[in-house]
Amino acid sequence: MMSLDQHKVYHEKQRWEMCALHALNNIFQDGKAFNKQKLDEICQRLAPSTRPNPHKSMLGLGNYDVNVIMAALQLKECEAVWWDKRRNPSELNLPNIIGFIVNTTSPIQFGYVDLPFKRKHWIALRQVDNTYYNLDSKLSKPVVIGSPEELLDYLKNGMNLKSWELLLVVSQQVSETRTWLKSSDQL
């Protein structure tokens, strides 16, 4: 993977436990797509009478769960499709997929020191100008994945990791028609 001139691609960097917020904004290539207040409102809507709210950190620093991501995508007329990691990514109809959100584990850091604990972390993968990028908010800048073929290899490698889960971000129409998947005669 090569580095990228970061002026071409929108990339939010990690602050607090806001990786879900950063992944959403990186998917939509828009720093104003979502903010902490909007995600907190979604949490409140999902669990209106529950304290503490089960969809975010008790400390109010983020750590939003998949339910918040799915509800946020719906506000943008999109859906999240959970990809079964037993399937081959070559079955994906890439032109109909807006981007990907990966949930994986990441070490907890105190300053520059990795602690022996891991937490869940959300990462966006997205195509911009015919090139796929890893837009992990913990990276200092976007990292080029490359062509569609290179993305499929990247996804295959990720699927081999026990801690890796993949969401496809698609329009509501693509979700309803299941055209995120190649038809069986194309396989």
Return the higher-pLDDT residue of 61 and 29.
Answer: 29
Please check whether residue 150 lies inside any domain of the structure. yes
pLDDT score recorded for residue 186: 44
pLDDT tens for residues 91-143?
999 999 999 999 987 756 556 666 555 578 899 999 999 999 999 999 999 99
Range of the domain at 145: 19-186
Please check whether residue 6 lies inside any domain of the structure. no
Please check whether residue 12 lies inside any domain of the structure. no
List the catalytic residues. 19, 121
Q: Please say if the pLDDT value at position 54 is more than 70.
A: no
- Those residues with Cβ within 8 angstroms of residue 105's Cβ, 6 or more apart along the chain or in another chain: 118, 119, 120, 121, 163
Please check whether residue 13 lies inside any domain of the structure. no
DSSP the chain: --B--TTSS--PPP-TB-HHHHHHHHHHT-TTS--HHHHHHHHHHHSTT-SS-TTS-TTSSB---HHHHHHHHHHTTEEEEEE-TTS-GGGB-GGG--EEEEEEEEEEEETTEEEEEEEEEEEEEEEETTEEEE--TTSSS-EEEESHHHHHHHHHHHHTSTT-EEEEEEEHHHHHHTTTB--GGG-
pLDDT score recorded for residue 46: 75
Return the higher-pLDDT residue of 55 and 137.
Answer: 137
Please check whether residue 9 lies inside any domain of the structure. no
Calculate mean pLDDT across residues 70-88. Answer: 94
pLDDT score recorded for residue 6: 46
Q: Please say if the pLDDT value at position 24 is more than 60.
A: yes
Domain count, the chain: 1
pLDDT tens for residues 134-184?
999 999 999 999 999 999 999 999 988 888 899 999 999 999 999 999 974
Q: What are phi and psi of 96, to 5 degrees?
A: -95, 5
Please check whether residue 40 lies inside any domain of the structure. yes
Q: pTM to 2 decimals?
A: 0.84
CATH number at residue 181: 3.90.70.40
- Those residues with Cβ within 8 angstroms of residue 44's Cβ, 6 or more apart along the chain or in another chain: 53
Please check whether residue 8 lies inside any domain of the structure. no
Please check whether residue 11 lies inside any domain of the structure. no
